[in-house]
Structure 1
Amino acid sequence: MVEHRTPVTARFALGALAVLLVGCGTVEGAAIPGEIDVRSLDVGSYTTAPADIDAGRKPTDGPILEGLRMAGAVVFPHEIDPALTYNWGTDVLDTPRRTSEVSAISNVNLPVLERHRMIVGFDIAEGSQAFDKTKPAIETDARITRVVLLRFPGAATAKEAARDLEATDFGVSPDNRPVPIPGYPAAHAHWRPGIKTIGATFAHGEIVVSMFLQHPSPDIDALAKRVAAVLDAQIPLLDNFTPTAPDQIAELPRDPDDLLRRTLIPGPANQQIAISSREFAPWSGRASLHFRPAEPAELGAAWDRGGVDGVAHSYSTTLFRFRDEAAATAFGTTWQDTLSAAAHPVSAPEGVPQARCAERRAGSAPALTRCYVSYRRYGAFVSGAEPAGVRQQAAAQYALLANSQS
């Protein structure tokens, strides 16, 4: 079955309660004609000085940064099957052990991943129903597609890994049967007759595409065709992706789009923070689509019109780079105009142009306050449980954007 994990996509991350930021206040810069003097804003103890992102380089950064690059090369299951409207998990898999715990990769395959020197993976899963932790997915009639991209050191190694991953998984049950995939004779796939799931692997260059799919009924023809549809969409994306040479992964830029230094971080600007796909990471180009709002439809449309080409995520802050200033402003207007019935506008930070804030309650969970601020072509959400602190975060994020201009 597909195991639920808190995803980093905007469908969940923009609505999740994140930790409040703490730090040392710094308000720099002076107003230029037509702009406010950000030194007048109430930023509390939050820093507004751009961080030296490169100073924080850690040995663990490289593989995660490569995984974030792969995030731009993975297929989005809902683009193949519009019924898959719910995100069930998305993340970088930075070690073989973590990868073996993903249900698209059987946990018996840890030795295979280690033997073939897996470098990093990226995982996405989507379903036709909301995830229900009270029952196994197999007991529902949900359609599920999970795709995991696994990077290996060379095409020959990837080909062997795809074969061995399938062989090990196949051997788990004597009831498993091989399944040919239409149009892909090199694909490895299996199912258990009468069970409505299929597992498959396919090597393409240095990357293995591992798939797990569930259908509403045990229809092997439908399952095999769905695997083929995934590969039809996935392979062109891999053709346009250039893996980083293994000996250069450690040198990948931590802030390739110059966005992380513009994003509010916990504590002072001279902190040395490791890259983490969930907490502190850049999402470049097509990878930024993992933060595209799934609903309401109007907000997703505003995102599309806005031409977002990069995202930076830092704890309870998410920063977007739009096509231009008008697009960044319009996105904030659409967000406020399409608040759900569970949310209502609240006061915005004083003095911050066009800032917008809202409070949302979800069941018994604490209320979440979120503010949106924009400056030139950048827009950002900040979130937290304490409204006054969130307003200070918003003011600090605005000041940081102004201070980051160069």
Structure 2
Amino acid sequence: MNSFGGSRLRRAAAVVLSCALAVTVAGCTIEGSAKPIDPNAAIDVNALDSGNYKTKPPNEGLGTVKSDSQGKLWEAKRLANYVINPVQVDDSLTRFVQPTFPIRDAAALSNGFGAVFTKATGAPAFKYNMDFGFIAGRASETSTTDNKNSSSLLIGVFVFPDDAAAKGAADEFLAAHKAPDPLIDPNKVPDTKPVSLPDYPDARALYTEDNTDKKPVISVFYPKGRYVIYQWVEGRKALPDLVTTAQTTLSKELPLLDQFKPTPNDKLKDIPLDTDNMLVRTLPADEPDSHQSAVYDQRGGIHFQTNSKIAEDNFAKAGVDRVSPGAASVYRAKDDQSAQQLLGLFYDELKSAYKPIASPDGLPAVRCYKLSDTKQAYAQFWCLGSRGRYAFEVTSSQMNDVYQKAAAEIKILVNNE
């Protein structure tokens, strides 16, 4: 299930549901019936009601990025595939939290909902001309019921023009976190103390307590080439335990980051907008968020799932190798049967939270559900389906709209067969 609401990829505490209560090899079984429905049967797409949703890409295809700014955003999205998920450091950190998003430029580091830093602590990103980055956040499940005793971990990678800029930024990020912050209290010097990471002597780190629950926190800024690897390690733990978490993160992130090859600035406009024709198979969002209009691999896609441990297992079982978020979220599985299997795994994750409703007209193999507890703030309606090796989900607060989204996504998939 995904962790974003509405048209976003994976909603924070929302779910992805299956093509039925039971998924068979032959297709999706309607509840109360033993007769399977083949999701790949011929469909009269002209008879489907897709409202005003766009179901055809431009005749010339999507092409390449249109500007250097867009190119850096696409690089930030690609970087997601080379940032480890916090659950790989601590398997109790399964719950999606903000900030988790591609960072398109220095301004995005400290602007808007879920910003990584304040304007004061993020100022070094401007001074040293940060190109782009990615941040991934996770917390323990107890963060929803016992936040005072929960744990969380943010892992970020910030890309700078060169090694010297990265080192300068790391030094000044640390200094900014030790100085008074106008947003919090312009006259108060934070109570911090330096922290060393024995295995990583070049790490810049400090210890403090968070402003709300007074939980211990260490902030880490580790320059590596033109990158700064950032961590926020928080939990009701002894300092040596927090240091162990930070060192484990670096031991896992550094080898992965070595595989990332940034596109040279003079080649940014050569970056293709699409990968493996996933975007042309995905219902586009009218006003995409920074993480949308992207194609992620398995690791990158897991960053946007509600429960990263479950998602990791589900993706592995179904052989998911591409994830594309838009007004629909599309998952490329190993084969047709695996796409149907994935929907069943999605349903199993939160089947107690939803009740089935009728399928859209003309799409009996698409299964739709309504949230049982209408007091919850999540999108009320979910529809899931598959076509070939592509599984998809759509959500909405309105039933007719979710039906139209499902119809539009089916049209797109059929038209790309």
- 1:287 matched to 2:300? The reply is yes
Q: Which amino acid aligns with 1:236?
A: P
Q: Which amino acid aligns with 2:159?
A: R
- 1:220 matched to 2:244? The reply is no
Q: 1:399 to 1:382 in 2, by over 3 A?
A: same
Give the drift of 1:158: 1.2
Q: 1:176 to 1:334 in 2, by over 3 A?
A: closer
Partner of 1:146: 154
Q: Contact (CA 8 Å) 1:202, 1:210: kept in 2 or not?
A: yes
Q: Given the alignment, which residue of 68, 73, 83 partners 2:92?
A: 83
Q: Given the alignment, which residue of 62, 71, 90 partners 1:62?
A: 71
Q: Which amino acid aligns with 2:150?
A: A
Q: 1:353 to 1:376 in 2, by over 3 A?
A: farther
Tell me the alpha carbon deviations over residues 192-226 of structure 1, each in whole angstroms, 9 at most, x when there is no partner.
48961111110112210011111204x22222121
Q: CA RMSD in A?
A: 3.2
Query: What does 1:6-405 align with in structure 2 at a 5 Å threshold?
Result: 10=10, 12=12, 15=15, 35-51=42-58, 52-54=61-63, 57=66, 60-89=69-98, 90-100=100-110, 105=117, 107-129=119-141, 140-172=148-180, 173=189, 175-192=191-208, 196-217=216-237, 219-265=238-284, 276-292=289-305, 294=307, 297=310, 301-315=313-327, 317-336=328-347, 339-352=350-363, 354-360=365-371, 361-363=373-375, 365=377, 368-405=380-417
Q: Contact (CA 8 Å) 2:294, 2:325: kept in 1 or not?
A: yes
Give the drift of 1:150: 0.4
Give the drift of 1:334: 3.5
Give the drift of 1:322: 1.0
Identity of aligned residues (%): 26
Cα distance in structure 2, aligned partners of 1:249 and 1:41: 39
Q: Secondary structure at the match of 1:253?
A: coil
Q: Secondary structure at the match of 2:381?
A: strand
Q: 1:259 to 1:130 in 2, by over 3 A?
A: farther
Relative contact order higher in (CA < 8 Å, ≥ 6 apart): 2
Q: 1:356 to 1:145 in 2, by over 3 A?
A: same
Give the drift of 1:364: 5.1
Give the drift of 1:132: 5.9
The gaps in structure 1 that reach 5 residues or longer are: 17-32, 268-272
The gaps in structure 2 that reach 5 residues or longer are: 17-39, 181-188
Give the drift of 1:357: 0.9
Q: 1:355 to 1:364 in 2, by over 3 A?
A: closer
Q: 1:302 to 1:164 in 2, by over 3 A?
A: closer
Q: Which amino acid aligns with 2:402?
A: V
Q: Secondary structure at the match of 1:283?
A: coil
Q: Contact (CA 8 Å) 1:177, 1:190: kept in 2 or not?
A: yes
Q: Contact (CA 8 Å) 1:9, 1:290: kept in 2 or not?
A: no
Q: Contact (CA 8 Å) 1:257, 1:284: kept in 2 or not?
A: no
Tell me the number of residue pairs that the alignment of Structure 1 and Structure 2 aligns.
373
Q: TM-score, normalised by structure 2?
A: 0.79
Cα distance in structure 2, aligned partners of 1:187 and 1:338: 39
Q: Contact (CA 8 Å) 2:298, 2:315: kept in 1 or not?
A: no
